[in-house]
Structure 1
Amino acid sequence: ALTSIQSSDVFRQMRSSGTSGQASKITLDGESAKRQSQVLVKILQSWLGKQRRPMLLIDAPSTVKKAGAMTARAAGLQGLSFFGRHHCYALNEEMELDIDKVSDFFSEYGKQPVLIFGFTFIVWQKFIQALAQQNISFDFADAILIHGGGWKKMQDQAVTDEIFKASIYKTLGKVNVHDYYGMVEQTGTIYMQCENGFLHTPAWSDVLIRSPQDLTLLEYGEAGLIQVNSVLPTSYPGHCILTEDLGTVFGEDDCECGRLGKYFKVHGRVPKAQVKGCSDTFS
């Protein structure tokens, strides 16, 4: 467990979803948690505006209520739910599509601006695929879908970002789809995907790309290990994290979408064999 505070100051423990190796446990005090929430709000308002929209959450209600340290999934659902109102969970406790609830939500709010949120693979398998199997589609007038989480399971099924978006448009109508990159080790900081398919770095953080061979810094346009830097945490040593993800930074302040900051893409997890000379960085 990563911590820099006394146990009496612990406000919350977070647990990473840990797709490889050991799951991280992150300790937050009240100040760090507050700072993370404030920054998440600032980042999302710049993409969503300040108006709270009726919200469809592609998950089961119990995900947020489970005991123990909060998981990345629960933290995502709870953090994003602040941006919605009239929350509707699209899945039942068995993680199956609750079509009556979704239909009711659409009847009530389908012609208004709505917000949809879920984790990429759950959105794909439990929602989009389930609707397709039942030959059901909706025609939202103005929806924003924010989704994130690992793409590994998607890649295993040969689902690309393009296929994912095309299926969303076909099944849900007029939806602006934004992927995001983030991790429980730096909660509060998310890198949102713009209309051109690039992830953008907010003002409170920075992304560097390092060579998997010797960890030297790479130039724009070169693929390597993603290092994420954040000014937010003070309750644990989480300012500077070398991830197991491969990515490329393409530039800074000159993305065609008009947004400022570095813009980059994530290519997936690094194959273990490729990491040389820094095996102690990985659990």
Structure 2
Amino acid sequence: MIAPYHLEREQKSAQLLDKLNDLTNWHIENCSEYKAMLEKSGALQQASSLEEVPYLPVQLFKLLDLKSISQEEVVKVLTSSGTTGQQVSKIYLDKETSVSQTKTLVEVMKPLLGSKRLPMIILDTKSVLKDRTSFSARGAGILGFSNFGRKHFYALNDDMSLDVEGLQAYLKEFAGQKILLFGFTFMIWQYVYKEAVAQGLEIDFGDSILIHGGGWKKLKDEEVDSLTFNRLLHQQLGIREVHNYYGMVEQVGSIFVECSMGHLHTPSYADVIIRNPITFEPVSYGEQGLIQVLSELPKSYPGHSLLTEDLGTIHGEDDCPCGWKGKYFSVAGRIPKAELRGCSDTFQGGTK
């Protein structure tokens, strides 16, 4: 597998385009709904650039069961996070897609975590993993990232209270060693940080590296941005190094990790395009728009090119001071609901 952040623009675009065109053809042949949507939108021809690869709005996975494999080949079903009563996306994985996603996640995280498994604290509750065939976004994230750790400890009890005694004992056992922390942004904020403040707990996670993602909307409502989050976690919990990531269950395994400069990066097997929310035309670097995510991983379902509901900005490509190649970008949050309704109306019946 190619090192995740070594390919420059021309080489990466050519390789990724070939793989995405192959996937488009595969899904046309194996998913009748996908074929019908592409026929309706006139997007059946081979794409000659990444911008031309036909995309599906991510909302479609909430409305349709889209898969390019038989029901017998399904080994895992992932569901997106959603509040009670909301429709959730259902993503069907076969063994091949599941294995390739796990392998790729390992490669993408190596520059930050190395190849040695670290003692690992999961800032969540174990009950999220009860059903091993059907996972929520949280469960899928925990399962994927737990491959980087050993001696896993879940910091929250089933009632979401902090297991302070267990946590202190674990930190004592591994004092002086680098510890991997993983969790979802909002959960960490609500049930770990706020709880530690409320109880006046003095916890020092020591030489720790925290990987977290998801749930920024609730923090933005409290006017907490990434820098504030990192500073307060360091202050209250002694967490030394923090890396956010951007990803979604609809393209699980395709995650965009924050580098040492605080930018999200596209690895060699995935990319992002930013589109105007009204015209859906690609916009220039530095302009905000809807994020389209591309990935060579989804083979069991047509999720290789998706238009998300998130707003973002590409800041540059191949020249981030951190040394990683690829586009680097930031995410501003979810598109306002009124605009989103307009966006989904435009997409009645499918792709661009």
The secondary structure found in structure 2 opposite 1:3 is coil
Once the two structures are TM-superposed, the CA of residue 142 in structure 1 deviates from its matched residue by: 1.4
Does the 8 Å CA contact 1:110/1:141 hold for their aligned counterparts?
Answer: yes
1:123 pairs, out of 159, 164, 188, with: 188
Q: Over residues 242-267 of structure 1, what are the superposed CA-to-partner deviations in whole Å (9 max), with x where a residue is unaligned?
A: 00000000111111111111100000
Q: 1:107 corresponds to which residue? A: 172
Q: 2:246 corresponds to which residue? A: 181
Q: Over residues 62-87 of structure 1, what are the superposed CA-to-partner deviations in whole Å (9 max), with x where a residue is unaligned?
A: 11114762111001111111111111
Equivalence map 1:31-70=2 (5 Å) = 31-66=96-131, 69-70=134-135
- Select the structure of larger CA radius of gyration: 2
Partner Cα separation in structure 2 for residue 51 and residue 259 of structure 1: 21
Once the two structures are TM-superposed, the CA of residue 278 in structure 1 deviates from its matched residue by: 5.1
2:328 pairs, out of 241, 263, 266, with: 263
Partner Cα separation in structure 1 for residue 199 and residue 113 of structure 2: 31
Partner Cα separation in structure 2 for residue 131 and residue 188 of structure 1: 31
Q: Name structure 2 gaps, 5 residues minimum.
A: 1-64
Q: 1:279 corresponds to which residue? A: 345
Does the 8 Å CA contact 2:77/2:93 hold for their aligned counterparts?
Answer: yes
Q: 1:210 corresponds to which residue? A: 275
Q: Which amino acid aligns with 2:147?
A: F
Q: CA RMSD in A?
A: 1.8
Q: 1:83 corresponds to which residue? A: 148
Partner Cα separation in structure 2 for residue 76 and residue 266 of structure 1: 19
Change (3 A) 1:277 1:171: closer
Partner Cα separation in structure 2 for residue 242 and residue 253 of structure 1: 23
Q: Which amino acid aligns with 2:226?
A: D
The secondary structure found in structure 2 opposite 1:107 is helix
Q: Which amino acid aligns with 2:323?
A: G
Matched residue count: 283
Q: Which protein is richer in strand relative to its size?
A: 1
Once the two structures are overlaid, the 10-residue window that deviates more, 272-281 or 86-95, is: 272-281
Once the two structures are TM-superposed, the CA of residue 163 in structure 1 deviates from its matched residue by: 1.5
Change (3 A) 1:258 1:181: same
Q: 1:157 corresponds to which residue? A: 222
Does the 8 Å CA contact 2:119/2:179 hold for their aligned counterparts?
Answer: yes
Once the two structures are overlaid, the 10-residue window that deviates more, 41-50 or 216-225, is: 41-50
Scaled by the length of structure 1, the TM-score of the pair is 0.95
Does the 8 Å CA contact 2:76/2:133 hold for their aligned counterparts?
Answer: no
Once the two structures are TM-superposed, the CA of residue 277 in structure 1 deviates from its matched residue by: 5.9
Does the 8 Å CA contact 2:77/2:90 hold for their aligned counterparts?
Answer: yes
Partner Cα separation in structure 1 for residue 95 and residue 162 of structure 2: 36
Q: 2:31 corresponds to which residue? A: none
Does the 8 Å CA contact 2:75/2:133 hold for their aligned counterparts?
Answer: no
Q: Which amino acid aligns with 2:278?
A: Q
Higher RCO (CA-CA < 8 Å; seq separation 6+): 2
Scaled by the length of structure 2, the TM-score of the pair is 0.77
Q: 1:244 corresponds to which residue? A: 309
Give percent identity, aligned residues only. Answer: 47
Q: Name structure 1 gaps, 5 residues minimum.
A: none
Once the two structures are TM-superposed, the CA of residue 174 in structure 1 deviates from its matched residue by: 4.7
Q: Which amino acid aligns with 2:179?
A: V
Q: Which protein is richer in helix relative to its size?
A: 2
Once the two structures are TM-superposed, the CA of residue 5 in structure 1 deviates from its matched residue by: 1.0
Change (3 A) 1:93 1:134: same
Once the two structures are TM-superposed, the CA of residue 109 in structure 1 deviates from its matched residue by: 1.3
Partner Cα separation in structure 2 for residue 281 and residue 98 of structure 1: 46
